[in-house]
Amino acid sequence: NLLAAGPKIHSCRFDFFETCPPFCPGQMMDLLFTEKDLVKSLKDYIKAEESKLEQVKRWAEKLDELTATATQDPEGFLGHPVNAFKLMKRLNTEWSEVEDLVLRDMSDGFISNLTIQRQHFPSEEDQTGAAKALLRLQDTYKLDTQTISTGDLPGDTLMPEDCFELGKTAYSEMDYYHTELWMAQALRQLDEGQVSSLDAVTVLDYLSYSVYQQGGLERALEYTKRLLTLDPDHKRASGNLKYFEYQLAKQMKAAIEPKRLQEVAKEGEKRESERTTEYLPEKRKYEQLCRGEGIKLTPRRQSRFFCRYYDNNRHPYYILGPVKQEDEWDRPRIIRYHDVISEREMEKIKELAKPRLRRATVHDPQTGKLTTAQYRVSKSAWLAAYEHPVVDRINQRIEDITGLDVKTAEELQVANYGVGGQYEPHFDFGRKDEPDAFKELGTGNRIATWLFYMSDITAGGATVFPEVGASVRPKKGTAVFWYNLFPSGEGDYSTRHAACPVLVGNKWVSNKWIHERGQEFRRPCGLRETD
């Protein structure tokens, strides 16, 4: 029985990006300076080696000149007692010194430094996580491999071996679609003559099999033939060639004519297009919003959005200095507050959070406890009001502006989103089928969410609401606020939201989840927010 075979991979399959925290930008910065220190150490080693070789070179040149003169008249040269003495001395003493110099290991300092720093190096799992992040960004933002590889995005370019590693990561996950994309990019760059330690045979081996797995039998056959022209003795390719030819021969004898096959394919594409128009799965809506393809509001609806100065019913603190309030969305009502946190406060919050950053957690609806989740990829830390006056001051500011009691709110959560970091669509409040979501806290459900943006993002990183098509872009020094519950206490399902992957930049946010207890006489009773 003929069967096609693909390249073998290491038996371990890493799901680091899904189950372990990626390096956050703060830690990545530490790695950058670690590498800079290693480069300096390496250059010092090179200088030491060059100095050693220079000494050896001077010795060799000196001896070359001396022996050239001496061997012209050996008898006369050795007839001089000083020359005879110095020859004995050189061979007995100085050549031993040269030997010691040549054998001297100048790499001790560099190797010692490298060994110390290596304990902070990313692991293979970390590398796999970063590769998965790139694949995630590629899908979300519809980026082609050429755009990413050639540096059209801000950043470095990818060499053929880099593209190959991305393809191999996808291959290990049996993601043959991305395997083909990245192996084809690696092959394209090799064909363009880019210098690489990677050979085309290895790339073609992965490429042909991934294409075959997606049903591209003819193209798989072409790639296999090309592989065998480069390496005629490649056993797996030879076997695959026979299998692909056998399968193509079977297709030729099939009852359905090629023309009819094309008609069937077109009919399928039409049905898929109609289905997509009628119903967009949440993931697709989410990705569209992340790309900026949100709902375009009608002029009439847009006219209801205002910017205003807000003093929260003449709050004493804000009568003379009201805050700037802007409507971001109407149903649910999402409000942005401008210039509500200073540069100094943001830096202090980051400083306090950095040493504690851990994989971000979510509430497990079954247990009511905090746990990590595959759909949230960031690092976070929790800051209590008593830990620093800045935290206490920020909490009080949130209470003054919203009019809601923060004594029963959760601690201020600070999050740093790393490479491709995101938080997929979720609710902040506990649903009816999750009665124990916040039981341990004893403060009721999450009535509202306050979210500070503490950095500007070059690309990506928006907060989006797939149910209603709203998209809120990060802007440093601002905060957005919305109610998760109606005045009746029912959950507002239109507040389902997500944090888009960061494409380029370093995203810092901090949020305050305000709970029901303590708000009994603070939020006005009345109509729902959507009325």
* Confidence category of residue 122, pLDDT binned at 50, 70, 90: confident
pLDDT value at 365 more than 80: no
State the pLDDT at residue 127.
83
Q: Is-contact 461 505, C-beta < 8 A?
A: yes
User: Which SS3 state, helix, strand or coil, does residue 311 take?
Assistant: coil
CA–CA distances in Å: residue 217 to residues 6, 205, 250: 14, 14, 12
* Confidence category of residue 527, pLDDT binned at 50, 70, 90: very low
State the pLDDT at residue 371.
53
Give the type of residue at 289.
Answer: L
* Confidence category of residue 269, pLDDT binned at 50, 70, 90: low
State the pLDDT at residue 20.
35
Q: What is the DSSP letter of 297?
A: P
- Short-list 159, 66, 160, 171, CA closest to 128: 171
* CB atoms closer than 10 angstroms to residue 170: 24
CA distance 482 to 336: 9
Contacts 24+ apart (CB under 8 A), 302-309: 304/330, 305/330
467 CB contacts (<8 Å, ≥6 apart)? 493, 494, 495, 496
pLDDT value at 13 more than 60: no
CA 483, distance to chain mean position in Å, is 31
Q: Is-contact 439 368, C-beta < 8 A?
A: yes
| Mean pLDDT, the chain, integer | 85
pLDDT value at 258 more than 90: no
Task: Taking residues 392-400, report their average pLDDT.
Answer: 97
Task: Taking residues 141-169, report their average pLDDT.
Answer: 87
More confident residue, 132 or 524: 132
pLDDT value at 160 more than 60: yes
Give percent of the chain with pLDDT exceeding 90: 56
SS (H, E, C) 168-210: HHHHHCCCHHHHHHHHHHHHHHHHCCCCCCCCHHHHHHHHHHH
CA distance 127 to 48: 33
What is the Cα Rg of the chain in Å? Answer: 33
pLDDT, tens digit (0-9, with 9 covering 90-100), for 298-327: 899 999 999 999 999 888 889 889 999 999
User: Which SS3 state, helix, strand or coil, does residue 149 take?
Assistant: helix
CA distance 210 to 173: 12
DSSP 395-460: HHHHHHHH----TTSPPEEEEEE-TT-EEEEE-SSPPTT-TTTTTTTTS-SEEEEEEEE-S-EEEE
pLDDT value at 281 more than 70: yes
User: Which SS3 state, helix, strand or coil, does residue 299 take?
Assistant: helix
pLDDT, tens digit (0-9, with 9 covering 90-100), for 322-339: 999 999 999 999 999 999
pLDDT value at 15 more than 80: no
pLDDT, tens digit (0-9, with 9 covering 90-100), for 376-386: 456 789 999 99
* Confidence category of residue 23, pLDDT binned at 50, 70, 90: low
pLDDT value at 375 more than 60: no
State the pLDDT at residue 272.
45
Query: How many residues are present in the chain?
Result: 531
pLDDT value at 450 more than 60: yes
Token couple for 213: 């797995």
What is the dihedral sign for C-alpha 394, 397, 399, 402?
Answer: negative
Give backbone dihedrals phi and psi of 463, rounded to 5 degrees, phi first: -100, 120
State the pLDDT at residue 419.
65
Task: Taking residues 246-275, report their average pLDDT.
Answer: 62
pLDDT value at 265 more than 60: no
State the pLDDT at residue 529.
42
CA distance 419 to 241: 40
Q: Is-contact 212 199, C-beta < 8 A?
A: no
Q: What's this model's pTM, rounded to 2 decimal places?
A: 0.74
Least confident window among 238-247, 358-367, 416-425: 358-367
